[in-house]
Structure 1
Amino acid sequence: MLIERFRAFQPQDFVFKLAQSEEDQAGFHALRRRIFCDEQGVFQDDDRDAIDESMIPIVCKPIIAGMEDEVVGVVRIDEREPGVWYGSRLGVALDFRRIRRFSSAASVRNQQPCNAGLGAIGAGLIYKAVSTANAIGCHEFLATVQKQNARFFERLHWQPLEEIELFGLPHVKMRADLNYYQPAASVA
């Protein structure tokens, strides 16, 4: 008897959107907890903070058989002073961090570039976050990024500003190039 190994199914079609439904918001918070509490141990039981009261949650969900599946990527954005927006709590589910290809429908569906390659879901979330803020009055978009991820952001048109420590970990404060992240065609 011959037993062949099969590759695990990895979807290639995704939607990047604001988390508006209860299901999307529950998935948003559950994934953050898995990444920042359980996996990384940055926070003990929950990673929620005062920013969650005024933030806009963004999620990435795979499209399987024409239907949205569970939340596999998250990021939140918030305006901390007029026109100055921040992105934070960017995370991608462990099984989706190595997605290498998107279907051609992903760019059309999301009205944004969906680049293939390592970190593709993270890059899509970043694009959705910055372009959404840019569409609603952003003139500066900042983030504090864990230091090991700073180079990834630089490849996505971000400029490092300073190194800082947050939650006992080295971070880099960074600024997005708003000329690269054109305002979103729709904020949804």
Structure 2
Amino acid sequence: MLFDPFPEYKPRDFVFKIARTPQELQGYWNLRRDVFCEEQGVFVEHDRDEVDDHAIPIICATLVAGMVDEVVGTVRIDERQPRLWYGSRLCVHKAHRRLTEMSPGVSVRNHQPVHRGFGALGAGLIYKAVSTANAIGCDRFLANVQEQNARFFQRLHWLKLEEKVLHGRVHAHMEAELGHYPPAELVA
């Protein structure tokens, strides 16, 4: 009993924010590489492209003692025409995809709803992405979503417009219903 292994610690406290510090940005790039290159094999060495030159990087990070610890989710947003925004490179660390509970403070701290059940961090990143663009000035928010994730987005008030093949994979071209994503607070 004394020497029984302790269960692995899994943080339940998160912050959704624009990545600004060198640590946050490094975690953002590392996670994207891990998911899109290593895990999915969509890209070879890195997934960076010309969109990254002007995109806003958004992260979900674990909090330990109130401080950012590890980046466990990413998405980027960019304005491609006046008031037309896109979200892309959404990913969540494999160990956090099946998260079903978050601390009660997550909603208050992030000024956004907390989604329960599988996909909670992905839903939080989507909410932060669209509501951030909405705060900056957005009339339409679009994304090309890997086909296996289209139903998840539809549950979050997205409309499927058409199918496209990108990077050798079928994607759903989708649009967010902006009324479900009020403008975010831009301080975090």
TM interval, short-chain normalised: over 0.9
Q: Percent identity?
A: 58
Structure 2's unaligned 5+ residue stretches are none
Question: Does the 8 A contact of 2:144 with 2:174 survive in 1?
Answer: yes
Tell whether 2:14 aligns with 1:14.
yes
Tell whether 2:18 aligns with 1:26.
no
Paired amino acid for 2:27: G
Separation (CA, whole Å) in 1 of partners of 2:177 and 2:7: 38
Separation (CA, whole Å) in 1 of partners of 2:171 and 2:17: 26
Structure 1's unaligned 5+ residue stretches are none
Q: Secondary structure at the match of 1:136?
A: helix
Separation (CA, whole Å) in 2 of partners of 1:47 and 1:186: 27
Q: Residues 74-113 of structure 1: matches in 2 within 5 Å?
A: 74-113=74-113
- Per the TM alignment, residue 4 of structure 1 is displaced from its structure 2 partner at its CA by 5.0
- Per the TM alignment, residue 23 of structure 1 is displaced from its structure 2 partner at its CA by 1.1
Separation (CA, whole Å) in 2 of partners of 1:139 and 1:81: 10
- Per the TM alignment, residue 66 of structure 1 is displaced from its structure 2 partner at its CA by 2.2
Separation (CA, whole Å) in 2 of partners of 1:34 and 1:159: 29
CA distances 1:5-64 after superposition (whole Å, capped 9, x unpaired): 653221111000000111111110110000000000000001000000000000010112
Give aligned pairs, total.
188
Q: 1:81 to 1:187 in 2, by over 3 A?
A: farther
Paired amino acid for 2:23: E
- Determine the structure 2 residue equivalent to 1:128: 128
Question: Does the 8 A contact of 2:75 with 2:125 survive in 1?
Answer: yes
- Per the TM alignment, residue 185 of structure 1 is displaced from its structure 2 partner at its CA by 2.7
Question: Does the 8 A contact of 1:132 with 1:187 survive in 2?
Answer: no
Q: TM-score, normalised by structure 1?
A: 0.96
Q: Secondary structure at the match of 2:178?
A: coil
Q: Secondary structure at the match of 1:69?
A: strand
RMSD over aligned Cα, in angstroms? 1.4
Q: Residues 35-184 of structure 1: matches in 2 within 5 Å?
A: 35-184=35-184
Separation (CA, whole Å) in 1 of partners of 2:128 and 2:2: 46
Paired amino acid for 1:68: V
Separation (CA, whole Å) in 1 of partners of 2:7 and 2:77: 35
CA distances 1:97-140 after superposition (whole Å, capped 9, x unpaired): 11101111000100111112100000000000000000010000
